[in-house]
Homo-oligomer: A and B are copies of this chain.
Amino acid sequence: MSAPKLTVSRRIRATPYTPKVESLGVSGYSVVNHTILAKGFRKSVEEDYWHLKEHVQLWDVGCQRQVELKGPDAAKLTQLMTPRDLRQATAGQCLYAPLVDGNGLMLNDPIILKLADNHFWLSIADSDILLWAKGLALGMKLNVKITEPDVWPLAVQGPKSDDLMAQVFGPSIRDLKFFQFDYFDFDRHPLLIARSGYSKQGGFEIYLDKPSIGTELWDALWQAGKAFNISPGCPNLIERVEGGLLSYGNEFTMANNLFECGFDEYCQLDNDVEFIGKQALQQIAKRGRERLIRGVIFDGGSCPPCQQPWPLTINEEFVGEISTAIWSPRFQRNVALAMLEKGFWQAGTQVEVSSSDGLIRKGLVTDLPMQDKQIRPLLPAD
């Protein structure tokens, strides 16, 4: 399928930064949470990849919508929604947390921000968790107010993020720890800023709750960023695949349980914390997972975009499927994220990739994130 035009209407929301993104030459959009997400600018994906790894970028991630849970039962409902044990969570903490249904199947994988004991934001991937939370609260008669606040995240990503942010928000922002947030003044307005983001290159996410100053915020970061070779950006597909950053709807869907996604470390089954899907997950844990998300690296020259899953086979037997794939300039191979069937997910397993261009390509299963020291020895010398 070619890349057709996106028709925008009120239903598919722009963000406070959209005029800036447009003026900087956005080349395409996706839609996440009924909101547009830039998918590229003037640089190629490869140029953008190297830039992200060396400098600093400004990303409009307004599509990362917040589901706010506030009120006497907010902590109870938040805990019910995730298998991650939140008892030790403290205000100011960000927690990556899978959300599952009664069968342990994945509904979303937000970052939970604990604002106060009974006040949380779920910074969500692409599904209407607001409706899930509202349905649960109404059905269980919980006393909690559930809303989508008028908050528009803006990400600063890349190794020069600290230098840039210190210029705009002062040097104390350098002390912010990974997956912690705090408040920093901008134009006499306190902004919630977290050290987080959808890349492995370091950076921050600014949760702007006053959209009327979106332009000023963007401009201030852009001006200060000129000294650091700033560029507009967006989640980079090469960097995301190599880094093993998953995307709900792509690598996993409501058809997959938590263990198939490899989210074991965010699931505590051996205590008395109550959450939805606990019994189902205990049963799956007992009998073992049937499949697992892994990396795949494969040759045959630059592959087309993976718009529908590509089968992985060994001697014509189905052993998994690729959900996302792209050429990696670092490995000089294609890199991919894939769901591998039981018995075939060990790193080094040789598979055949049927890409949508009709080629059969030779592939190797890898751990995630993809590590040079694992992959290099597996590659034949060019």
The interface of chain A, by Cβ under 8 A from chain B, is 1-12, 14, 18, 22, 26-31, 34, 39-40, 101-102, 107, 126-129, 131-141, 148, 247-250, 254, 276, 305-309, 323-324
Contact = CB atoms under 8 A, between A and B. Distances in A.
A5 B5 CA distance: 4
A141 B134 CA distance: 15
A69 B8 CA distance: 32
6 contacts: A3-B6, A4-B29, A6-B28, A11-B248, A34-B126, A129-B131
A135 B128 contact: no
Nearest to A137: B139
A3 to B, nearest CB: 4
A1 to B, nearest CB: 6
Contacts of A306: 9-10
Copy number in the complex reads 2
Nearest to A37: B7
A341 B41 CA distance: 41
The dominant DSSP class at the A interface is loop
B309 A10 contact: yes
Query: Which of A5, A34, A254 neighbours the largest number of chain B CB atoms within 10 Å of its CB?
Result: A5
A30 B6 contact: yes
A126 B11 contact: yes
A276 B138 CA distance: 9
Given A4-B27, A28-B4, A9 B140 contact: no
Among all A-B residue pairs, the 5 with the closest Cβ atoms:
A139-B139, A135-B135, A11-B249, A128-B128, A5-B28
A4 B138 CA distance: 40
A40 to B, nearest CB: 8
B131 A10 contact: no
Contacts of A323: 10
Contacts of A148: 254
Given A6-B29, A9-B306, A34-B249, A138 B138 contact: no
Contact of A135 (B8, B10, B136, B248): B136
Contact of A8 (B9, B137, B307): B307
A9 B308 CA distance: 7
A339 to B, nearest CB: 11
Contacts of A249: 9-12, 34
